[in-house]
Structure 1
């Protein structure tokens, strides 16, 4: 069941990445964030209730709430046009907790591949903190690309491999993920620097909507 939810985490990360890159309108992305956020709250609740005091299962399921609450928070923010600071500082909490879950996957749950994936997520949510909490708009494009790529690499592809029975040899998968992450995200940095729209800053409040306005809005995260 957790793998099914992870598949749709891939979809929402990909969509949010495109939103940050200006390819998807913010309110449209907000609706899908609510869908996936609700799924990622229901899923761990069912897993924990059915775990029957299996501490490993409960540990693994507990981290899913971090993402469920993130997507619900983001969806409400995007639809309501609220200030991004709350989402940003919650992302800092997620980034720190993700380090703990990475350690748990390496040392307790015996899945080094997801140990690396949790490091990916810690990095990504750290970027969300800088972008949304500290309002450093100059990393918008970089964050958008990292988000979209992680949607596939950390969620959609691993989820499909688990569902199809291909999630084996997690040690090798961990090495491949680690090498790919370092190479891809380091290479992206110079490619995305200096490409932000002039004067781009994270919005602190919703601009008044004019009746009949037909122009496409930029994402409210940027």
Structure 2
């Protein structure tokens, strides 16, 4: 069940990344965030109720709520046009907690590949904090690309591998993921710096002039 939810986490991250890159209209993305957010709250609840004595399942399920609440918060923000600071500072909380879940996957759950994936998520939610909480619009394009790529690398592909029985040799997968993340995300930084606005992003209440491309971040 968790793998099914992870598949759609990949989908919503991909969609949100495209939104930050200006390819998807924010309100349209907001609806899908609500769908996935609801799914990511229902799924861990069912897992916990169904396995009340399995501490490993409860530990794994508890982390899913971080994403469910993120996407619900994002969807409401996008549809309501609210200020982004609440989502941004919640993202800081998620980024810190993701480090703990990474440690748990390495040391308790015995899945180093997901230990690395949680490090990916900590990095991504840290970017959301800087972009939305601190409103540093100059990282909009970089965050959009990282989000879209992580939708595939941390969501859709691992979920499909789990569902089809190919999620094996997690030590090797961990090394591949670590190498990929370091190379790709470091290489993206200089490639995305040009054309980004400097300073803070405008408040979500400020109107965007007709015909002008909006850089303000309005989601996570």
Whether these two folds match at TM > 0.5 is yes
Query: Within 5 A, what are the aligned runs for 1:103-142?
Result: 103-142=103-142
Residues 41 and 68 of structure 2 are in contact (CA less than 8 Å); yes or no, is this contact kept in structure 1?
Answer: yes
TM-score normalised to structure 1 length:
0.93
Structure 1's unaligned 5+ residue stretches are none
The CA deviation string for residues 197-219 of structure 1, in whole angstroms up to 9 with x for no partner, is x578534233469xxxx979747
**Cα deviation 1:54-88 (Å, max 9, x = unaligned):** 00000000000000000000000011110000000
Give yes or no for the alignment of 1:17 onto 2:17: yes
Specify the alignment match of 2:205 in structure 1.
206
Question: What is the TM-score normalised by the length of structure 2?
Answer: 0.94
Q: Residue in 2 aligned with 1:83?
A: 83
Answer yes or no: is the 8 Å Cα contact 1:15–1:29 preserved in 2: yes
Q: How big is the shift at 1:154?
A: 0.3
Give yes or no for contact 1:26–1:218 (8 Å, CA) kept in 2.
no
Give 1:221's aligned residue.
217
Runs (4+) off by over 6 Å: 214-217
Q: Does 1:186 align with 2:209?
A: no
Q: Contact 1:136/1:202 (CA < 8 Å) preserved in 2?
A: yes
Number of aligned positions between the proteins: 218
1:19 and 1:219 in contact (8 A); partners too = no
CA shift, 1:169, in A, is 0.3
| Structure 2 unaligned residues grouped into runs of 5+ | none
